[in-house]
Each structure stands twice: as C-alpha cells, then as structure tokens.
Amino acid sequence: MKVHVRFLAAVAVGTVLATNTFAQSLKEIPGSSPLVAVANEPAPKLFVGAPLPGPLAHGAVVIPYRLENFRILPVLGAGAVNVSPRVGHLHVTVDDLPWHWGDFSDSNTVVVVGLPPGQHKVLIELANPEHHIFTGQTVTFTVPGPA
Amino acid sequence: MRINTFAAVAACTVLATSAQAQSAREVRGASPYADIQNEPAPRLILDPPLPDQLARGIFQIQYRVENVHIVPVFGAGALNVSPRIGHLHITVDDLPWHWADASDNNTIDVVGLPPGPHKVLIELVSADHQVFTGQTVTFTVPDRAK
C-alpha cells in the first residue's frame, strides 16, 4: 500500500511537469481561444508559401497558407465586423481576372487544378466579413508542360 | 388527477414532434460516425443563384449533397472511407481549370464576374477527385451601369 502511494505521487509529479511544458507552449499561440475577446488584437497576418512542388509537377496548384490574428469562418455582414477574435475569409483571384471566389474552408490550402502550362499567379487576400481587404499576397509559379 | 395531466402532456409532446420536426437524419443525412453498407449514389442539389445578390453582381448559390460527407480529406487512401467522403470542384465559364471547395458551407461565392451570361459548373467528386455527379448553372450578371 505504501509503495502504491509513492508510485502515485511520482506519477503526479510527472503529470505536473508535463502540464507546465504544455501550458507554456499553449500560451505562445496567440488568440488561442475563440471564446475570449482579444483587446487590441494585432493586425491580421497572411503567410503564403510557394505551390507544393510534387503536385505542381502534375499540374495541381496546391498553395499552403498560414494565418495569424485571423479566423476563417462563414460569418458575413456588417454585424460581424466587430467580432473578437477577428473573423473573415479569403478572396482568391487567378491571373488578374476581374472576379474572385470566396474561400471559407480554413484548410490552410488553396487548390487550383487544370491551369494551362505556363506562368500564372494567384492572389490570396484576407477579407473582413464585409469584404474589406486587410492584406494580400500574390504567388507566381509556372505550370509545367507535358513531359 | 396528476397522472392524467402528465399523460396529456406526453401526448401533446409526441404530436408536436411528429407534426413539426423532421428527424436529424432526415435533414442532416447519415451520421459520419457509423459506416454504411451499400450507401446510395451521391446526389448534388442546387438552388438557383440568390436573386438579390445576383442583382448586385454577386453569384451565390446554395447547394446540398446526399450520400457524401464533404471534408478536406484527400487522396486514394480516403476512397474506402464510409460514409463516403468527397468535396466540390468548381469551374467558371468553361475555363480549363477549377478550384477545390471542401468547406461544406452550403454556398458557393463568386464575385466580380463581368456583366453578361456566365456559367458555373459544380461537381461533386471523391476524395481522389473522380467526379460523382455535376451540374452547370447558367445565369446573367446584370449590367450595373444601367
């Protein structure tokens, strides 16, 4: 019985250590809870990577992106502009076309398939629920021709 | 006396439920938690574009699917998932390219198309991009200068 108690104590100490480690890393994630409003939330940031080379070689443009201070949700309109933490969505434009589509998928990836061989560009913009643009980034790339 | 009241309340509850509410399964489809033997073929149901939005030059169209669970899960390894999973491919004006939409948002949104006739092809595809079914919607973006 005594041994049993000691064992439990050791497990408890181990758990506390583990908890401290986890707690630190969680704090490093800004805006980690959607339930708590963020006062003076920093400006939204968008980081767009180059299309993944493997799929691109097969003509599939798979563009990874990452966001900070911005949650993608299908929440729109003037009533949502002041939601905190901030919500919005993406506008995606291909090759300077006059139109774009709204992307609410929050899948960290924009996928475009079937672009003809040659140079192309994709503009990814962060839009607020009323479609005002916070920031955007254009990625240019070349779709290879048939081998 | 008290028992009689309870019985009456219970009867009302049953009546109200059957009169008003379709079951969750009827409206939302099968649970993604339990596999389905011999799942029926995928279906894609499209409404007309939202008329008020189209008048402002915004193409927004609602959809729903049956017998496909739309999720951002891709590749050959996902083909045997049950219930069936998939996503949408969306093509504008017969362009050779499309984009993938795995949002399951029930609405597709395209903004800025020039005035005139357009078409949008919406395809319901497997996780490995084989087309189950598709529909083309034709519509006219009004000339906003008028």
A119-141 pLDDT, tens per residue?
999 999 999 999 999 999 999 99
**What ipTM was assigned to the predicted interfaces of this complex?**
0.80
Contacts of A112 in chain B (CB under 8 A): 97-100
In chain A, the residue whose alpha carbon lies closest to the alpha carbon of B94 is A114
Residue A28 burial class via C-beta count within 10 angstroms: exposed 0-12, middle 13-18, buried 19 and up: exposed
Cα separations (Å) of A91 from A123, A130, B31, B67? 8, 12, 32, 29
Residue B76: domain span: 26-32+41-141
Residue A30 has pLDDT above 60, yes or no: no
Q: A59 and A16 share a domain?
A: no
Q: A19 and A54 share a domain?
A: no
* pLDDT tens digits, one per residue of B123-144: 999 999 999 999 999 999 999 7
Q: A51 and A23 share a domain?
A: no
Counting one residue from chain A and one from chain B, the pairs whose CB atoms sit within 8 A come to: 65
User: B117 near B94, Cβ under 8 Å?
Assistant: no
Q: What is the CATH number of the domain that holds A53?
A: 2.60.40.10
Asked if residue A36 is part of any domain, the answer here is no
Structurally, chain A folds into a number of domains equal to 2
Residue A114: domain span: 45-143
* pLDDT tens digits, one per residue of B7-18: 555 454 555 555
pTM of the predicted model as reported, rounded to 2 decimal places: 0.81
Asked if residue B16 is part of any domain, the answer here is no
Interface of B with A in 69-108 (CB under 8 A): 72, 89-90, 92, 95-103, 105, 107-108
Mean of pLDDT over chain B: 89
User: A101 near B98, Cβ under 8 Å?
Assistant: no
Alpha carbon distance B146, B75 (integer Å): 47
* pLDDT tens digits, one per residue of A69-91: 999 999 999 999 999 999 999 99
Angle at B19 between CA B15 and CA B23, to 5 degrees: 105
Asked if residue A106 is part of any domain, the answer here is yes
In chain B, the residue whose alpha carbon lies closest to the alpha carbon of A120 is B97
Q: A57 and A23 share a domain?
A: no
Structurally, chain B folds into a number of domains equal to 1
